[in-house]
Chain A
């Protein structure tokens, strides 16, 4: 039964080996997509190049469908999957800060690791900034922990919260993503670089 780790197929130390291997796959596809360069990532926010949106939502849809069908066919116990608790207001504020930081800094934490791996100096400075921001958060945490832990909602998934069957919501997200991809292709034609800097291989 999946997830294997939760059903004690192996221990935590073996899990670390899987962590490293899964990380290699993660880093590989981030770099393949072009996420090792801030110029390509930031172009998303000027409608020049919507690769960030396309890759992210294709990945979300792929994993969402995989988890959904594995659980429908009884191969995976979805209740054993880790879910991060929702603290809605701090998450909204944190999300906005992250968005502003994204367009100023040019990366997010994961993509900056890939930028470092491929020699991007700005990626190295960005990671330095992430360390700094985390340290500042740690130092001021005693002052802001009231806000940081406000509006707790526990582990809440959207099918439960909106009272919509899991399968219907999965289907709706797929439709939304397909609509989004069509809009992204249209926007790139309208606002994108006239001559693509780098052609895509198909």
Chain B
């Protein structure tokens, strides 16, 4: 079911510790150059706020959550650091996948789970994450990785809860993966 665009022999993944050092150096570079860490969910929030503002401007400006992402109107809200960074993530992920022969059209799941159910689960899990990341003021990138490395108290509490939540719930969705 997976259709490879590049090669039929995907290369093995990088040693996790080497990949971790690479990721850590990218994060460090971000601190050194910008004084800020990485992120992902923030870019999606900006796009959502812009979308709502396009469809219903008065509704968006009356809501403090959206208006925070829209700014004061002097600059385009999409000219945002995280939006540009996430566009880079898209390109970087594609470059790496391309060179490793891992760009292919597929649905990732365990063998006993139907495609349709997997896609429902993906949307539902994504929605929980989108909602949770707003409450937590960041996701695995912005909180766990970025805040974790500067020993931010809230980030460490958050990170432990992410692992706790996932391990506690894993049993109930095991058929999706195993």
Contacts and interface: CB of A to CB of B under 8 A. Distances in A.
A90 B63 CA distance: 19
A117 B89 CA distance: 9
Interface of B: 5, 10-17, 19-41, 44-45, 47-49, 51-52, 63-66, 79, 81-82, 84-97, 100, 102-110, 118-119, 121-145, 147-170, 173-174, 176-178
Contacts of B82: 19
A138 interface: yes
A122 B30 CA distance: 29
- By Cβ-Cβ distance, the 8 closest A-B pairs, closest first, are A105-B125, A23-B88, A129-B126, A99-B165, A58-B20, A62-B24, A133-B130, A95-B161
B155 A84 contact: yes
A21 B88 CA distance: 6
Contacts, number: 557
Interface of A: 2-6, 15-34, 36-40, 42-46, 48, 51, 54-64, 66-67, 70, 76, 78, 80-88, 90-123, 125-138, 141-142, 145, 148, 153, 156-159, 161, 166, 169-170, 173, 181, 198-202
B7 to A, nearest CB: 13
B122 A129 contact: yes
A63 B24 contact: yes
Given A16-B84, A100-B166, A105-B129, 6 more contacts: A27-B88, A84-B137, A84-B147, A99-B167, A129-B129, A134-B41
A38 B152 contact: no
Nearest to A142: B63
Contacts of A118: 93-94, 97, 102-104
B120 to A, nearest CB: 8
A116 B86 CA distance: 12
Contacts of B52: 135, 138
Contacts of A138: 48-49, 52, 63, 65-66, 134
B81 A94 contact: no
Given A84-B155, A114-B93, A121-B106, A23 B128 contact: no
A106 B108 contact: yes
Given A95-B158, A98-B139, A161-B153, A30 B89 contact: yes
B137 A22 contact: no
A128 B47 CA distance: 12
Given A33-B23, A113-B40, A145-B64, A101 B93 contact: no
A95 B162 contact: yes
